[in-house]
Amino acid sequence: MSSLPPCARLDGDGLTMVLDLRAGAAEPVYFGPTLPMAEDLASLCDVLRRGRHASQPDRPAPRSLLPFAGEGHLCAPSIVIQQHGRPLTPRMPVVAITQRDAGLCLEHRDDALGLSVQIELSIVHGGLVEFGTQLRNQGTHPIGLISLASLTLPLPSWASHMVRYAGRWSGEMQQQRLALHQGAITSASYGGRPGFGGGNWVRIEGDNAGEVHGDALSAHLAWSGDHVLSVERNADGDATLTMAAQLEPGEIMLAPGDTFCAPRALVAVSAQGIASLRHAFHAHVLGAVAPEIAASTPRKVHLNSWEALAFDQSLEKLCALADRAAALGVERFVLDDGWFAGRRDDTTSLGDWVADPGIFPGGLDPLIDHVRGSGMDFGLWVEPEMVSPDSALYRAHPDWCLHLPDHPRLTQRNQLVLDLTRPEVSGHLLASLDRLLAEHDIAYLKWDHNRDLFPLAGKGHAQVIALYALLDRLRTAHPQVEIETCASGGGRVDLEILERCSRFWASDNNDPIERLQVNAGWFDFLPMRIAGNHVGPSPNPITGRQVAMDFRAKVAMFGHMGVEADPGAMSTEDRQCLAAHIALYKQWRDVLHSGRLWQLTPAGAGVHALLAMHKGRGIALIAQTRQAATYDVPHIRFAGLDDEAHYRVALLPPYCEKARAQLSHARSYAEGVVLSGRALRLAGISLPLQYPETAWLVSVEIA
């Protein structure tokens, strides 16, 4: 530990953060592209410091990483605490800074109250900055923690807009670009999980931000429970981003000597546009977050039984469905809800994780053997955190659910929530799941979570920690088993849960037009490799929309591809079309899942355009979601290519038949046209996209 210098710097892959420490606070005066190592930091801090103006304290409070109430900060405090039911007002200057190989550790201390806060800033894989904050009670009396921000980041002066991610069930991660006017814009969750609104993800943009140019910053709170996110611009014009786990009063009590660790927050910054942020987060997820089995092995094509059979299950029907799946080229058959004792609808049996003898008189093994014999591996749906009031588990242990004494036990989707903070409950779940995985050849668990957590009664934080512990113990016992995180779709997706899960279910909505919009939000942070993306039935059960198989299959290729429909209910032409796209996915999945992802969409044209490039080889999806206002839409211009290189550009069959007649130079596109990267970036290509639900696949390969 060193004495306090006047300034400090944090350097990562292409970035520098400069902290002014002279006022006793850690004030980030610069956060952006790398500065020279010989930069005079004191002079930089001097020229970036603003003078005092009217209606300010005589000593204006610095824009700190840890602002406190009572010091004149015009933003929300990072820490709110109380003692004996009365609020405390700490003052914690930076007293020490420790330089580490990959970061800095800032220690703040209030000796009068016996409190210390450490903020660790670390450069992690992908070039992100990870913020780790912890509060320690070094005093002699207990302290009640009301809130502790994982991240309080004074935003650069260029910050003019935020992109937040709103949503609902079947419509997750809808991007909303909002101007940062004076006042606060806040997102929060209250259901014991991040929720469908994606409020634990945010992007800050400058006026000039685009895909490959301009200033931008992305941040994420890695926490699977309730949270609060706020961007606030004060009367001085300063904007601050705050992210925190949301706690109930009295939930966290720190006895003398206790430490509370806030969830980590991760931040990427760029002066080269939004794509750089996306690439940084994707690299971090694949290099430091996702389990090894997800990051390194080919992502197998799934077929999930739900849309085909729902609760109408029998061994004969399931074996026939598996045969139809194998004929398409499917590599993993997933048995969804309805397989366990007494489960004929969603009113019963959650918690009783044994095969229903009426469906499986010989247990699960005859089905698993049939699936394995067809060349596929086997996956199984579970919802371990929940219990049905009509179940053997609930009848034996009615006190194991979250409840308030002498109050009605309110259900959602006909189910209650198990109290994972009780060791006997977590122990029972571990034993049940361990038995399933030990006794059967199961390669994959679809771990669902279909209701909000209430009443938490002060257990929200502990419930999340207990979930992590349960998953960790299960993965230690069965490291070869992949787990998918699902919460009625994308209701619980974050980088902490994804350390334990090999993929996430982006949305229950498989309508490809809706999925393009949902996926656009997820792909801002998460790679296609771990994003479940399936071909659904037509008409779609959620939207009622009828969509051609060609469009459904092309959209599903851009993710971890699967099928959520009954091949037996498809026409011969649709089965052939789907099988062709599954084969194409297998041919290109190394590029789709290892490459960098670029958004090529021309603004306002109704077109979604994605390009995945890997080692000079790329595949693009160009999809029109609505009828174009004009017959011709703007050219699709490419990003991510070398200006000086030449590329062979070709259209990959099958083609969209209704648009094929409008395709100019069809033979050239089939054989491949060689163009420079510069021409593809500046001029682009023209494709017929006037019809809604038209999609093209374009290959781009070094010539």
Question: How does pLDDT run across 379-411, given as a tens digit for each residue?
Answer: 999 999 999 999 999 999 999 999 999 999 999
Average the pLDDT over 565-569 and give the result: 98
pLDDT digit string, tens, across residues 149-181: 999 999 999 999 999 999 999 999 999 999 999
Amino acid 70: pLDDT: 77
Nearest 10 degrees: CA dihedral of 43, 47, 49, 51?
130
Per-residue pLDDT tens digits for 432-483: 999 999 999 999 999 999 999 999 989 999 999 999 999 999 999 999 999 9
pLDDT at 575 over 50: yes
Q: What is the mean pLDDT of the chain?
A: 95
Give the Cα separation of 528 and 425 in Å (integer): 35
Rounded Cα distance between 643 and 678, Å, is: 4
Tell me, what's the pLDDT at 664? 80
Structural contact between residues 199 and 162, judged by C-beta atoms closer than 8 angstroms: no
- pLDDT tens-digit readout, 489-511: 999 999 999 999 999 999 999 99
Segment 349-364 mean pLDDT = 98
Cβ-based neighbours of 84, under 8 Å, separated by 6 or more: 141
- Whether 58 shows a pLDDT value over 90: the answer reads no
Spatial contact of 303 and 325, defined as CB atoms under 8 Å apart: yes
Lowest-confidence region among 300-314, 343-357, 580-594, 624-638? 624-638
Q: For the chain, how are helix, strand and coil distributed in percent, rounded to 5? A: 25, 30, 45
What per-residue confidence (pLDDT) applies to 138?
Answer: 96
Burial of 549 (0-12, 13-18, 19+ CB in 10 A): buried
- Decide which of 235 and 104 is more confident: 104
Residue 598 backbone phi and psi in degrees, to 5: -125, 140
DSSP classification of residue 285 = I
Q: What is the mean pLDDT of residues 631-641?
A: 91
CA contacts within 13 A on the Cβ side of 242 = 27
Picking from 247, 194, 228, the residue whose alpha carbon sits closest to that of residue 462 is: 247
Beta strands in 234-307 (DSSP E): 239-245, 252-254, 259-261, 265-270, 302-304
Checking phi first, is residue 517 left (phi over 0); if not, alpha (psi -120 to 50) or beta? alpha
Please name the residues in contact with 260: beta carbons below 8 A apart, sequence gap of 6 or more: 134, 135, 136, 145, 148, 252, 254
Instruction: State residue 59's pLDDT score.
Output: 78
- Is the predicted pLDDT of residue 186 greater than 90, yes or no? yes
314 DSSP 8-state letter:
-
- What the chain holds in terms of domains, given with CATH numbers, is 63-89+108-289 (2.70.98.60), 296-592 (3.20.20.70), 599-702 (2.60.40.1180)
Token representation of residue 207: 């006026």
pLDDT at 578: 99
pLDDT at 603: 61
Phi, psi values for residue 648, rounded to 5°: -90, 120
User: What six digits make up the tokens of 543?
Assistant: 């939207």
Paired residues of 7 in beta bridges: 20
Which residues, 6+ apart, have CB-to-CB distance to 647 below 8 Å? 641, 674, 675, 676, 677, 680, 700, 701, 702, 703
Contact indicator for 473, 505 with CB cutoff of 8 Å: no
Tens digit of each residue's pLDDT (9 = 90 or more) over 271-314: 999 999 999 999 999 999 998 988 889 999 999 999 999 999 99
565-592 burial by CB neighbour count: b if 16+ within 10 A, else e?
A: bbbeebeeebbebbbbbbebbbebbebb
pLDDT of residue 1: 43
Q: Give the DSSP letter of residue 222.
A: -
Supply φ then ψ for residue 553, to 5 degrees.
Answer: -70, -40
Please check the confidence at residue 2 and state whether its pLDDT lies above 60. Answer: no
* pTM assigned to the model: 0.97
Residue 501 bridge partners (DSSP):
none
